């Protein structure tokens, strides 16, 4: 499936290093120890890599594509429960652009959809969760980089979606946070601006709708998570720095995120 993946020992070493870097960045920014969660992005890497990360205590994973995530995490679940029926199962977040026709599967396999980027998608998530009698967490994604294809293009439309949740129109959906991907650039000012924009939008939504439990800022990836921690991130989504590069073998249409 993947091209350049790391060995189990590499994954353990990478995870330890990234946890260290997160906690140094927390300290440097005067933030509480443990205030930033690490979401390990396992897209393009197989179930064996997820199991390797799990064995290092990594419990939260992010995936872009629903079908890939379902197959992989079903295999992980079977491996774990075969060894121990009461094993703790990993938590899975969907972080990639989600098409409406994938929502049913997405809500079946995940506890949070971080990439909500339209009110139509939100309504579909509510509808499917209603049918399943399941509650789900969502993050609303803001497009802050011009090269990104997903996310609300306008803060105003994101706020309208937050309003519809605040007004009780999506009883199966809990709005927990906001998410963004910074632009793909070496210009750290642009990256920092992107994270600040998201943080200000969260402040605005918190003051408009104080009853929403919106506390999370999902921002920062392998290349920029230290800046994100400085700017108030509560969850960094790190893929290649843990699992290795994804190579160049992805077919068109499978190239997601900041490939």
Q: What is the largest CA-CA distance in the chain?
A: 49
Residue 234 or 240: the one with the smaller Cβ distance to ligand PLP is 240
| Per-residue tokens: 175 | 């709005």
Q: What is the Cα–Cα distance from 150 to 256, expressed in whole angstroms?
A: 10
What residue is closest to ligand PLP based on CB?
257
CB of 257 to ligand PLP, least distance (A): 3
Residue 231 DSSP class: T
Residue 162 or 236: the one with the smaller Cβ distance to ligand PLP is 236
CB of 115 to ligand PLP, least distance (A): 7
Report the run of H or E that residue 218 belongs to, with start and end.
strand 216-218
CB of 41 to ligand PLP, least distance (A): 4
CB of 131 to ligand PLP, least distance (A): 27
Residue 5 or 80: the one with the smaller Cβ distance to ligand PLP is 5
Query: Of the candidates 96, 100, 90, 35, which has an alpha carbon nearest to the alpha carbon of residue 68?
Result: 96
Q: What is the Cα–Cα distance from 220 to 231, expressed in whole angstroms?
A: 10
First to last CA, the chain: 16
Residue 2 or 166: the one with the smaller Cβ distance to ligand PLP is 2
- Contacts with ligand PLP by CB under 6 A lie at 41, 43, 64, 95-96, 181, 221-223, 237-241, 256-257
């Amino acid at each position: 499936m993947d091209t350049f993946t790391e060995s189990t020992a590499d994954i353990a070493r990478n995870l330890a290093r990234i946890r260290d870097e997160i906690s140094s960045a927390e300290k440097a920014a005067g933030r509480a120890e443990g205030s930033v969660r690490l979401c390990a992005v396992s897209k393009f890497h197989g179930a064996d890599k997820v199991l390797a990360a799990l064995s290092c205590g990594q419990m939260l994973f992010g995936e872009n594509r629903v079908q890939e995530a379902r197959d992989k995490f079903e295999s992980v679940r079977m491996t774990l429960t075969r060894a121990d029926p009461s094993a703790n199962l990993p938590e899975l977040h969907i972080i990639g652009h989600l098409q409406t026709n994938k929502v049913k599967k997405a809500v079946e396999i995940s506890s949070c959809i971080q990439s909500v980027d339209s009110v139509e998608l939100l309504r579909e998530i509510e509808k499917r969760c209603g049918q399943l009698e399941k509650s789900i967490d969502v993050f609303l994604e803001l497009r802050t980089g011009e090269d990104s294809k997903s996310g609300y293009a306008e803060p105003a439309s994101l706020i309208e979606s937050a309003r519809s949740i605040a007004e009780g129109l999506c009883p199966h959906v809990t709005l927990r946070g906001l998410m963004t991907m910074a632009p793909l650039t070496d210009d750290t000012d642009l990256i920092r601006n992107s994270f600040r924009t998201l943080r200000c939008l969260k402040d605005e939504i918190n003051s408009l709708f104080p009853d929403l439990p919106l506390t999370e800022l999902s921002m920062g990836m392998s290349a920029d998570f230290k800046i994100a921690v400085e700017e108030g991130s509560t969850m960094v989504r790190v893929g290649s720095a843990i699992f290795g590069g994804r190579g160049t073998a992805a077919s068109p249409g499978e190239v997601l995120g900041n490939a």
